Amino acid sequence: YFEVETPILQSIPGGAAARPFITHHNALDIPLYLRIANELYLKRLIVGGFDGVYEFSKNFRNEGMDRTHNPEFTAMEIYVAYKDYNWMMDFTERLLEHCAKAVNGTTKAVFGEHEIDWKAPYERISMTDAIKKFTGYDITGKSEEELRTFAKSIGIDVNDTMGKGKLIDEIFGEKCEGNFIQPTFITDYPVEMSPLTKKHRDKEGLTERFELMVCGKEIANSYSELNDPIDQRERFEEQMKLSEKGDDEAMFIDQDFLRALEYGMPPTAGLGIGMDRLIMFLTNNASIQEVLFFPQ
């Protein structure tokens, strides 16, 4: 695969749900955004004919700080043509097993009171099944209002700006995420949570996406990439509606990216890994400040 560099200053911040930092370009007299992710540029390179590209990118997100979040952080993103999220799950667990051995000489790494075993294969559970397991509630086919009512009933702080995706994310984050200590793939996210992801080939209302959880934290996110420009435009338009409701993390419509998809992107699998968090887990550091020379 080919290592590349993509712009840090972007006219449209895309590729993730996050609030961007905004700056101004004096010569062009236009606003620019520090990148929140490099995804949409890397996928344009796949459109352009590269079979596989990756980048270690510095990303910037204008949001809260805690033990696992810094406003600037390093991510590794990789996109491989003619693959899907099932292939990427196998790739990810092999990659992380290799990293663990390279750093510690063994697949096992101590993190706090836990011993994490990075040896492949990792357990896999769908998001729907995870929520059912830890709350007893089946989110399948539920309306936004039903989800909001349920979230409130179990003590989760939700509000009217949150659409279905955000509500499900809050339920999962509050009630499920912390239970996954050993590396576990959470798969098949609802379509509302995944505006850049291909719809599931078998399961209505879901997408071909996984996140990797370790010690109750997400360290990797992956999709079978959405390559249908009509579907992608509709998903961006749904994001605009969320933005109008007051969701400051909703995505912009990126016309350049849509035009690239109209030329044609092969079926593609993408993966992003949070490098700072991965290093925390491999070196037994409980705070992101311990793996950055100059934390904010």
Tens of pLDDT, residue by residue, the chain (296 residues): 999 999 999 999 888 888 999 999 999 999 999 999 999 999 999 999 999 999 999 999 998 889 889 999 999 999 999 999 999 999 999 999 999 999 999 999 999 999 999 999 999 999 999 999 999 999 998 999 999 999 999 999 998 888 888 899 999 999 999 999 999 999 999 888 888 899 999 999 899 999 999 999 999 999 999 999 999 999 889 888 888 888 877 788 889 999 999 999 999 999 999 999 999 999 999 999 999 999 88
Residue 33's nearest CA partner among 62, 73, 4, 65 is 62
pTM attached to this predicted model: 0.90
Q: Which residues fall within 8 angstroms of residue 56, CB to CB, at 6 or more apart?
A: 3, 74, 75, 76, 275
Alpha carbon separation from 268 to 2, 92, 251, 262 (Å, rounded): 15, 15, 21, 15
Q: Which residues fall within 8 angstroms of residue 62, CB to CB, at 6 or more apart?
A: 18, 19, 20, 21, 71
